[in-house]
């Protein structure tokens, strides 16, 4: 009786197959080690993995095409195509927050980002237009109680040249007051004679505007009034008068010891006005004191002379008398001046530049309009000869940093100025960053406060929700 054969085990089968592969490799390639079989297995495994991954990606794409996520849920800010309503998309859960404009939207995004409900960078958020039907069933909240800033660009700044100008009619009556900013034309170089202005403020006081300063005139001093052509006085706004740097009052300066003998060797009494002529034909005026003479500008010489002629002298006599400094002449106009008619020069301006933070004043023929396409915007508060600013010329507007004569540099508050001349304060640097404020040129805070003021923009305020947003 023959013995029953035992079934082969898996190890025996694998060993047999391995032996056959070695024998095949030895006969075909002359090498009993079948390394190419291992490489082929690895390639088959890698290829299978890639194929499975591609199938998974294709399946995801197919699902997204068949059932895509709504467009509003894939955006940070959306605008209804038909309604024009703007919303911020808050996360966890997805919902719409109504806002007034893009700047308000950026503040809301910045406020939500602190709680992780808005991962988008607020400074780069831009609205996406969606059909109103596409957001009709979207969850939403009450409106964000944060004001916006219409027609405002926080990503640009305004060139740091500013002016405040009064324009008068042919009779010298105030017509309008305008604030201008941007690439204003350079003022002309000072000439030998100053076109001064004789201004009458709303309180009735007279001011001489010469050499960029204002000098109050004593309307009871007949000697002073005799040197002025009051028929050419023009009305001026309080804003313009206050902006012009103030110099010494325009009055006859006191000369101690007037009438006493002057310095020895000089045939003149104390208080006498002398005149001498330089080699280039210029006249030099001097006033006599007991111990010397002091050079004075023509305007002060005219007041001291009171209609009398100046006494001729020589440079040698002046040198022998000696020089003194008794009168603060640096506060008085240094050049001869005249009073142009409002017909010829109807505009008086105070101009500002960072190089001259106190500003300067001059009369001119027209408003110093910025170069380019800037236009004047008549403000709703316009009141003609009243105290309010009537028009603004600020181009596209932008972000600026307020400065004052006693506060320069980069530590001033940030303001946004709209294209229509409305200003908005920015609460702090994080708020400015959320709005997308970049470079900020300096601007005179005095003029910023004259423009219509909108609400202050603040990131912390953006977390409050209301049924009806209130203006600031």
DSSP string, 386-433: SSS--EEE-TT-EEEEEEBTTB-SS-SPEEEE-TTS-EEEB--HHHHH
The model's confidence at residue 67, banded by pLDDT at 50, 70 and 90, is very low
> DSSP E strands: which ranges in 182-291?
194-195, 197-200, 206-210, 213-217, 234-235, 273-277, 283-289
Cβ burial, residue 299 (10 Å; 0-12/13-18/19+): buried
Domain boundaries, the chain: 37-67, 72-144, 162-244+337-450, 260-321
**Pick the residue with more confidence: 59 or 201?**
201
What is the reported pLDDT for 400?
Answer: 96
Contacts (Cβ under 8 Å, ≥6 apart) of 103: 148, 149, 152, 154, 416, 435, 457
Q: Give the range among 21-30, 246-255, 400-409, 432-441 with minimum mean pLDDT.
A: 21-30
Which percentage of the chain shows pLDDT scores above 70?
Answer: 86
Full strand arrangement of the beta sheet holding 86-90 = 95-99, 86-90, 77-80, 127-130
How long a stretch of residues is the chain? Answer: 472
Greater model confidence, 66 or 350: 350
Q: Residue 450 — pLDDT band, cuts 50, 70, 90?
A: very high
Q: What is the pLDDT of residue 460?
A: 83
Is residue 207 within 8 A of residue 173, CB to CB? The reply is no
Mean pLDDT over all residues of the chain?
A: 85
CA distances from 151 to 183, 373, 417 (A): 20, 16, 9
Q: Residue 267: what pLDDT?
A: 86
Do 126 and 447 contact (CB within 8 A), yes or no? no
Distance CA 253, CA 319 (A): 24
- 439, exposed or middle or buried, with CB in 10 Å at 0-12, 13-18, 19+? exposed
**Strand 194-195 to strand 337-338: parallel, antiparallel, or no bridges (unpaired)?**
parallel
Q: What pLDDT is recorded for position 330?
A: 80
How far is it, in rounded angstroms, from Cα 419 to Cα 237?
Answer: 24
Give the whole-angstrom CA distance, residue 195 versus residue 211: 9
Whether residue 163 has pLDDT greater than 60: yes
Query: How does pLDDT run across 380-421, given as a tens digit for each residue?
Result: 999 999 999 999 999 999 999 999 877 766 678 999 999 999
Q: What is the pTM of this model?
A: 0.77
Report residue 7's pLDDT band, with 50, 70 and 90 as the boundaries: confident
Per the CB < 8 A criterion, the answer to whether 284 and 277 are in contact is yes
Long-range contacts from 267-274, C-beta under 8 angstroms, 24+ separation: 268/311, 268/313, 271/304, 272/311, 273/301, 273/304, 273/305, 273/310, 273/311, 274/310, 274/311, 274/312, 274/313, 274/318
**Superfamily, domain 72-144:** Type VII secretion system EccB, repeat 1 domain (3.30.2390.20)
| Residue 441, pLDDT above cutoff 90 | yes
By CB atoms closer than 10 A (0-12, 13-18, 19+), residue 201 is middle
CA distance 109 to 144: 11
Helix (H) or strand (E) holding 80: strand 77-80
| Residues 6 or more apart in contact with residue 407 via CB below 8 angstroms | none
pLDDT for res 15? 72
pLDDT above 60 (res 64): no
Dihedral angle computed from the Cα positions of residues 71, 75, 78 and 80, in that order, rounded to the nearest 10 degrees: 0
At residue 115 the predicted structure's pLDDT band, cuts being 50, 70 and 90, is low
Give the closest residue to 429 by CA, choosing from 105, 98, 154.
154
Give dist(CA 127, CA 150) in Å, integer. 15
Q: What is the pLDDT of residue 444?
A: 95
Asked if the 260-321 domain carries CATH number 3.40.605.10, the reply is no
71 to each of 67, 79, 122, 331, how far by Cα in Å? Answer: 12, 11, 19, 68
Q: Cβ neighbours of residue 276 under 8 Å, at least 6 residues apart?
A: 283, 284, 286, 312, 313, 314, 315, 318
What integer pLDDT is reported at residue 66 of this predicted model? 55
Distance of CA 18 to the CA centre of its chain: 84
Q: How far is it, in rounded angstroms, from Cα 215 to Cα 333?
A: 9
Strand blocks (E) in 169-249:
174-181, 194-195, 197-200, 206-210, 213-217, 234-235
Instruction: Supply the pLDDT for residue 6.
Output: 67
Query: Percent of the chain having pLDDT more than 90?
Result: 41
pLDDT confidence tier of residue 260, bands split at 50, 70 and 90: very high
If DSSP codes are grouped into helix, strand and coil, which group holds residue 267?
Answer: coil
Give how far Cα 223 sits from Cα of 60, 251, 443, Å.
96, 8, 41
Whole-Å CA distances, 297 to 193, 294, 301, 333, 334: 12, 10, 6, 7, 5
Per DSSP, the chain holds a count of helices (H) and strands (E) of 9, 26
């Amino acid at each position: 009786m023959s013995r029953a054969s035992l079934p082969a085990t898996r190890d025996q089968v694998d060993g047999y197959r391995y032996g056959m592969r070695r024998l095949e490799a030895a006969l075909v390639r002359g090498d009993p080690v079948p390394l190419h079989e291992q490489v082929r297995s690895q390639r088959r495994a890698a290829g299978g993995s890639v194929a499975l991954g591609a199938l998974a990606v294709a399946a995801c794409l197919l699902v997204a095409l068949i059932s895509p996520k709504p467009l509003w849920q894939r955006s940070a800010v959306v605008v209804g195509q038909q309604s024009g309503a703007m919303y911020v998309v808050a996360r966890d859960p997805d919902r719409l927050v109504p806002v007034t404009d893009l700047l308000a939207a950026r503040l809301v995004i910045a406020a939500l980002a602190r709680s992780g409900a808005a991962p988008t960078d607020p400074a780069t958020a831009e609205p996406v237009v969606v059909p109103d039907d596409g957001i009709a069933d979207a969850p939403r909240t009450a409106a964000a109680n944060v004001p916006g800033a219409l027609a405002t660009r926080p990503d640009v700044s305004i060139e740091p040249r500013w002016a405040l100008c009064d324009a008068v009619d042919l009779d010298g009556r105030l017509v309008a007051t305008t604030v201008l900013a941007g690439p204003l034309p350079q003022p002309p170089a000072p000439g030998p004679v100053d076109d001064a202005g004789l201004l009458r403020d709303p309180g009735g006081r007279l001011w001489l505007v010469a050499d960029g300063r204002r000098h109050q005139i004593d309307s009871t001093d007949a000697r002073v009034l005799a040197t002025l052509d009051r028929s050419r006085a023009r009305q001026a706004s309080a804003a313009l008068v206050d902006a012009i740097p103030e110099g010494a009052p325009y009055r006859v300066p006191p000369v101690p010891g007037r009438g006493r003998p002057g310095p020895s060797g000089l045939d003149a009494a104390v208080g006498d006005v002398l005149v001498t002529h330089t080699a280039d034909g210029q006249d030099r005026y001097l006033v006599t004191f007991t111990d010397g003479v002091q050079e004075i500008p023509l305007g002060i010489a005219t007041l001291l002379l009171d209609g009398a002629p100046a006494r001729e002298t020589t440079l040698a006599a002046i040198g022998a008398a000696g020089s003194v400094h008794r009168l603060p002449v640096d506060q008085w106009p240094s050049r001869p001046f005249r009073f142009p008619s409002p017909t010829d020069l109807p505009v008086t301006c105070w101009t500002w530049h960072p190089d001259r933070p106190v500003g300067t004043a001059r009369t001119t023929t027209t408003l110093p309009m910025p170069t380019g396409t800037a236009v004047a915007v008549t403000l709703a508060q316009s009141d003609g000869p009243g105290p309010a600013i009537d028009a603004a010329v600020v181009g596209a507007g932008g972000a600026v940093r307020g400065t004052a004569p006693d506060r320069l540099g980069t530590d001033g508050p940030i303001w946004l100025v709209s294209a229509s001349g409305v200003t908005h304060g920015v609460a702090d640097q994080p708020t400015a960053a959320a709005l997308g404020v970049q470079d900020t040129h300096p601007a005179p805070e005095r003029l910023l406060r004259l423009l219509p003021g909108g609400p202050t923009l603040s990131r912390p305020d953006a977390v409050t929700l209301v049924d009806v947003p209130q203006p600031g």
